[in-house]
A and B are shown apart, each in its own frame.
Chain A
Amino acid sequence: MANIKELSKIPERLTGGHRLCSGCGASIAVRQVLMGTTSPVVVGASTGCLEVATTIYPYTAWNTPFIHNAFENVAATISGVETAYRALKKQGKIKKDIKFVAFGGDGGTYDIGLQSLSGALERGHNFVYVCYDNEGYMNTGIQRSSATPTGASTTTAPAGKESYGKPQLRKDLTAIVAAHNIPYVAQACISNWNDLVAKSQKAFAVDGPAFLNVLALCHRGWRSPAADAIKISKLAIDTGFWPLIEYENKKWRFTYKPKERKPVVEFLKTQGRFKHLFKEQNKPVLEQIQRDIDAHWTYLEKLVQVTS
């Protein structure tokens, strides 16, 4: 487990002065992930808030090598960088041991970048892929993605007279990634920093691809107070809305389990995107969301049991 005193000594690779919102989950996720290694690290990012707000030419907030290519291809791009590294190291042109990490939002990972990610995982490049999952296309103005949870109101699946927001379940990307049989897969959250840093350390340490799906709140999209990012994230964990799990050596494991799961409404009521669900006519939707969360939690418990 990471010691906060030791972690504070790791130089910041994402420096201050970037233009992400205060209370942005993405920058918190990035800083915690990068505390997972003391080795030199090359960062890739897909198009999105993280890239846009940290690299406005002629400025950059990165004091480590950084590459952005396009929206859907950060996994393929970093696979090219990592391969070039192996090619040049083999020839003795590079001496250092270098780590590689790719950051994509949920739009760039669950949706448009899924093929690029799948290809890079299957090819077995030695890199860490981090999805900073804020459950929608926040950079373009809060549109629904396949990571958007049931009932959330977004600008392309808004709540209205005939709609309660997104009717579908979100995609279980963590399970899809695990199906690639890569050395390490985990779900983490910015509120549980020691859990996240420990997972990042594991991800950087394994030989081959590793994947972290990090719930990283966007208060603009979630319609919540900027100062409450960590508090709301903690509720996502304590309600079982975002289970903290990992997959390693063919085994699934909870890395943290609340003693008693709180009702999901405790989480939902903190955010404007779910506000309409608390109207009388949407009561069945709230009940359905709770049933879905319970069912997934039970499924995960069984999964942990049969693979342990």
Chain B
Amino acid sequence: MELTRRNALMIGAGAFAATLLPVGAFATPEDTEKAIAEFTGGAEVGEGGITLTTPEIAENGNTVPIAVDAPGALEIAVFATGNPEPKVCRFKFGPLAGSQSASTRIRLAGTQDVVAVAKLPDGKFVKASNTVKVTIGGCGG
């Protein structure tokens, strides 16, 4: 049996029930690059002008609150680099949007980097990236 980290985490969390989920292949760095390139049309991606807010350690990998904010952006795309499918969601902002920010909850298959890329009105792209740890926990001070 191939035991994935995710399955091991679920077992290790203490119930030790055999709740094995279907094992899927996880995204490679190339998959994420490809997904980002699809969004940017291959344009260069800069830094700054976008804020990505995530917990450092997820309380529950199945529902991780994230928020993105990129003043003036036309669109923001979010990628989970370690999920089976890196493309998570895209937010489009119309001309009447009061602010170019959004928050949602996403599912993370394990510890990984979450990347947000914003398309700015001048056609340029900027990104922000945070590591979110998905952990067993259980040993407080």
Binding partners A and B:
no
